[in-house]
């Protein structure tokens, strides 16, 4: 039902308390991502996963979320966002408990998959509930800005809390810290939050869901396995299966009445550039976070807590940018702000090419601060520009695609660019093991082999991030020429 909301309609204290309850989940999701990067060296030493398994531990969550996001958006609209959010938080908590006490890499991967099942409900449902709490347009914009800033701030708080805990306890603690947060959310949810439920059209196309899910997982598995273990007949067959499955998924979206992926939206250049920005910025974000966390700990030799502190300046800049994005847009305009996103991310990431196996802390800090401004703009602008580029009746589909592009980008970053770095190490590294961390463990008594492994890892990191930074910069150049001078409001 459409309503014209008066600008005088101010939110009460209950709405702001409700926002605080939702932000606890937002903070949890953000912390989970940043803390896991720091915990991976300890996870590797404890569970000794293969190269494939290590990457699956990191990105299975993102792939599950990305595959289910649109479907869960439909379910939430039909049956209620709050109900879905509560069910999702319980599932996320259950997966966290299993992950904390995992005794094998396989168990941890399965636990992360369960967390992904719950996580697919958290951010989009939380944002819908927050938007419904604040009917005044200005207050709604403030609340959404706080929502984005909290997500970014989690990457500042997460390493501090996680690093402190990891310096004293085993790696399972990074999952146990989720449990009390979920408990507090459940205590406040029913009393403070209103459910968001409105009529939606169409049923979920289960075949489309199955095709997208199977295609993404198969294709990326093949890619990662080829990078770390080499090309094989089975690996190639799985890759072809994934490619064909994704092709069938895309083809099906053209003919079914209620598609999961609204392909027609991509006819608009503004929408396409916005979605591409959301996807690629998260690809680079995830890859650089994973690779630099390994670089700081396993190459430069910093302990986990010091590595966490070194990441704080960039995370704080990112958080501040989320808060000040509206002011930046008012000064320079939407198009210029979007182009700044590409330039600053690519500049910050390409700066990491100056790091070496012996020195790179100052470069790392400067890189994260420059790129942090770009990421902050991206987090705040992408969904807004994507939604404003399409007709109002298709705003929901545009918002779902914007969120999905972020989640898939987060998973693709580790899978694709992480595989580039892993492939380089397998080809040029010491012929002792297939991965960097495995080599460090097996060559613990050989300083010469360790030194060679460190240098090879840094070279692979440079190649992966050089590719990522260059792609972002290329998209920025395309935006300059493809986008109109003034973007729609």
pLDDT tens, position by position, 15-42 = 788 888 888 888 887 777 667 777 888 8
Q: 82-96, 189-203, 406-420: which has the highest mean pLDDT?
A: 82-96
pLDDT tens, position by position, 364-399 = 999 999 999 999 888 778 877 877 777 765 666 676
Q: Do domains 13-204 and 264-489 have the same CATH topology?
A: yes
Residue appearing with tokens 């805990």: 165
Q: For the chain, give the mean pLDDT.
A: 82
Instruction: Break the chain into its structural domains and give their ranges.
Output: 13-204, 211-259, 264-489
- Give the pLDDT confidence score for residue 268 in this predicted structure: 87
Residue 74 binned pLDDT confidence (cut-offs 50, 70, 90):
low
Q: Does domain 13-204 have CATH number 2.120.10.30?
A: no
Among 147-156, 371-380, 433-442, name the one with the lowest average pLDDT.
147-156
**Domain covering 264-489, topology:** Growth Hormone; Chain: A; (1.20.1250)
pLDDT tens, position by position, 267-300 = 888 989 999 998 999 899 888 988 998 899 889 9
pLDDT tens, position by position, 453-487 = 999 999 999 999 999 999 999 999 999 998 888 77
Residue 13 binned pLDDT confidence (cut-offs 50, 70, 90):
confident
Q: Which of 230, 314, 264, 285 is nearest to 62 (CA)?
A: 285
471 Cβ neighbours under 8 A, 6+ residues apart: 280, 283, 284
How far is residue 267's CA from residue 247's CA, in Å, rounded to a whole number?
19
Task: Say yes or no to pLDDT of 143 above 50.
Answer: yes
Q: Judge whether 384 and 322 are in contact, CB under 8 Å.
A: no
Which residues are paired to 431 by β-bridges?
A: 433
- Give the pLDDT confidence score for residue 2 in this predicted structure: 40
* Reported pTM: 0.78
């Amino acid at each position: 039902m459409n309503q014209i909301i008066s600008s005088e309609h101010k939110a009460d204290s209950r709405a702001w308390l409700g926002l605080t309850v939702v932000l606890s989940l937002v903070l949890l999701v953000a912390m989970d991502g940043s803390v896991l990067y720091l915990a991976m060296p300890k996870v590797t030493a404890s569970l000794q996963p293969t190269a494939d398994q290590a990457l699956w531990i990191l990105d299975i969550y993102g792939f599950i979320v990305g595959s289910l996001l649109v479907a869960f958006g439909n379910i939430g609209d039909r049956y209620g966002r709050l109900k879905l959010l509560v069910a999702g938080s319980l599932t996320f908590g259950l997966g966290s408990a299993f992950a904390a006490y995992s005794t094998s890499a396989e168990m941890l991967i399965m636990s992360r998959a369960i967390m992904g099942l719950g996580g697919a409900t958290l951010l989009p449902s939380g944002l819908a509930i927050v938007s419904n709490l604040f009917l005044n347009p200005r207050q709604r914009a403030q609340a959404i800005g706080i929502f984005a800033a909290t997500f970014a701030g989690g990457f500042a708080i997460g390493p501090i809390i996680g690093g402190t805990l990891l310096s004293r306890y085993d790696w399972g603690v990074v999952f146990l810290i989720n449990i009390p947060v979920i408990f507090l959310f459940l205590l406040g949810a029913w009393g403070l939050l209103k459910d968001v439920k409105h009529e939606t059209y169409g049923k979920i196309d289960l075949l489309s869901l199955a095709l997208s899910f199977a295609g993404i997982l198969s294709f990326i598995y093949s890619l990662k396995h080829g990078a770390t273990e080499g090309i094989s007949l089975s690996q190639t067959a799985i890759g072809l299966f994934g490619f064909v499955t994704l092709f069938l998924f895309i083809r099906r979206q053209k003919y079914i009445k209620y598609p999961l992926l609204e392909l027609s939206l991509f006819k608009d250049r503004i929408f396409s550039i916005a979605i591409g920005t959301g996807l690629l910025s998260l690809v680079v974000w995830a890859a650089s976070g994973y690779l630099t966390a390994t670089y700081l700990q396993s190459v430069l030799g910093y302990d986990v807590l010091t590595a966490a502190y070194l990441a704080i300046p960039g995370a704080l800049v990112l958080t501040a940018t989320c808060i000040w994005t509206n002011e930046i847009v008012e000064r320079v305009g939407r198009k210029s702000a979007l182009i700044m996103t590409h330039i600053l991310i690519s500049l910050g990431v390409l700066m990491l090419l100056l790091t070496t196996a012996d020195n790179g802390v100052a470069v790392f800090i400067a890189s994260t601060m420059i790129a942090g401004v770009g990421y902050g703009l991206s987090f705040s602008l992408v969904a807004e520009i994507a939604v404003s580029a399409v007709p109002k009746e298709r705003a929901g589909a545009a918002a779902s695609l914007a969120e999905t592009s972020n989640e898939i980008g987060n998973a693709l970053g580790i899978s694709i660019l992480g595989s580039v770095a892993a492939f380089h190490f397998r080809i040029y590294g010491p012929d002792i093991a297939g991965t960097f961390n495995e080599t460090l463990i097996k060559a613990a008594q050989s300083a010469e082999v360790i030194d060679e492994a460190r240098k090879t890892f840094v070279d692979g990191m440079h190649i992966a991030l050089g590719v990522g930074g260059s792609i972002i910069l290329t998209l920025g150049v395309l935006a300059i020429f493809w986008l109109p001078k003034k973007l729609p409001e």
